Chains A and B, each alone.
Chain A
């Protein structure tokens, strides 16, 4: 249930990013919400469910964005794996580090993405722009705080519902025992 909810949310965010968020000015309406969702799932989801979600989101992004199929899929799987690994095996799992990690990981991913494409497909991407990447990183950093609050709230809600559902299912018919 949690995974399905977050996949649906990811789908909605992708649609939002490719449609009505395009009408907002660059500095306001373009935080990469799917990226925030991926980092959040890396903190909260286990490996299997997280990779499943990363796969679906990468797949959908490949469909609606980009030129080279598979690039977003690879990127989202890698991002999830790295953040998950870091959050399990380092002090980064602490809440205080979570938000800064979103910004740092976004910046690193942009650099790696550009590096990869400049080697694999030279001339396929526009020239590297420090100002643009830094601007997007700051926007993402600012947006990640309310997004994390909302995602956390949603995660708790859906998880509780699942627990209640499970406990109801487990209850035996004999109530006088």
Chain B
């Protein structure tokens, strides 16, 4: 019983000692911390604490940033997809608008050029829209939306600001057929603008024109402009027809072989002008030819 009491006393004194030591250690630690804080100095313990906290902070920051990135990349994509679709629709709309504006711009430029041409030229020009093109390889004709109601008569000349298009060959009330100048059956008296050399320009279908009856010693070069000679009364002089694209001299024969590229792009022709000033001239000629010869 006595031994038990002495053991309990020993244990109590040991616990008390340990508590005292802990308290002492705490006081020392507090004193050290207080002493290092006084004066605002970032001392060793501060640095140690920061070094201990730093990695943890870094880890959690990276973790949270990863979370944010994950949210941005994937979760926010749900909205982005909708937004993307909407933007695509908007883009399509703007593209089609842009196409319209481009088309309107080019049409405007084209019409401006044609209007300037109409103002500049002295003849009363009737604007006609091309509504149909000959589908066959053999013939070069166009259908335009002007006819006898508008004063169009067979034989009238069709032109654009770029040059001669052709001649009216058939007329209905509201529509007419025009034989293009590059048709093989067409032949126009022309001169080379630079050297004033004369020749006959014949249509060669899709290959443009061929200039005939130009002597070998005539001065003709690639790039020379071919214009109407004004002989025969159908075409006034000086209207552009095309430019020389190839000159070839055969060993035999007197003449050169000259290919001419049309000034007018017949494949892309959208509108043209019909020269109405020739109406009276053509009617007079027709009435003369139909009148009896004895008169």
B137 touches A66 (CB 8 A): no
Categorize the interface residue count of chain B: 20 to 34
B135 within 8 A of A: yes
Query: A126-B137, A126-B207, A132-B137 in contact; A64/B132 too (CB < 8 A)?
Result: yes
Q: Which residues of A contact B133 (CB under 8 A)?
A: 18-19, 22
> Which residue of the partner chain, among B132, B183, B204, contacts A67 with CB atoms under 8 Å?
B183
A32 touches B184 (CB 8 A): no
Least CB distance from A25 to B in Å reads: 11
A 1-32 contacts with B by CB, 8 A: 15, 17-19, 21-22, 30, 32
A 100-157 contacts with B by CB, 8 A: 113-114, 117, 121, 123-127, 129, 132-133, 136
B139 touches A66 (CB 8 A): yes
Query: A64-B132, A123-B185 in contact; A18/B143 too (CB < 8 A)?
Result: yes
Least CB distance from A15 to B in Å reads: 8
In the complex, the chain A residue whose C-beta lies closest to that of B206 is A126
A65 within 8 A of B: yes
Q: Which residues of A contact B206 (CB under 8 A)?
A: 126
B135 touches A114 (CB 8 A): no
Interface string of B128-151 (1 = CB under 8 A from A): 000111111111010100000000
Q: Which residues of B contact A22 (CB under 8 A)?
A: 133, 135
Least CB distance from B262 to A in Å reads: 14
B184 touches A123 (CB 8 A): yes
Q: Which residues of A contact B203 (CB under 8 A)?
A: 126
Q: A64-B132, A132-B137 are known; give 18 further A-B pairs, CB within 8 A.
A: A17-B135, A18-B134, A18-B135, A18-B143, A19-B131, A19-B132, A19-B133, A22-B135, A64-B143, A65-B136, A65-B139, A66-B136, A66-B141, A67-B141, A67-B179, A67-B185, A126-B203, A136-B137
Q: Which residues of A contact B135 (CB under 8 A)?
A: 17-18, 21-22, 30, 32, 65
Q: Which residues of B contact A117 (CB under 8 A)?
A: 138
How distant is the Cα of A15 from the Cα of B131 in the complex, in angstroms? 10
Q: Which residues of A contact B238 (CB under 8 A)?
A: none
B230 within 8 A of A: no
Least CB distance from B144 to A in Å reads: 12
Interface string of B184-197 (1 = CB under 8 A from A): 11000000000000
A114 touches B132 (CB 8 A): no
Q: Which residues of A contact B184 (CB under 8 A)?
A: 123-126
B 160-187 contacts with A by CB, 8 A: 169-170, 177, 179, 183-185
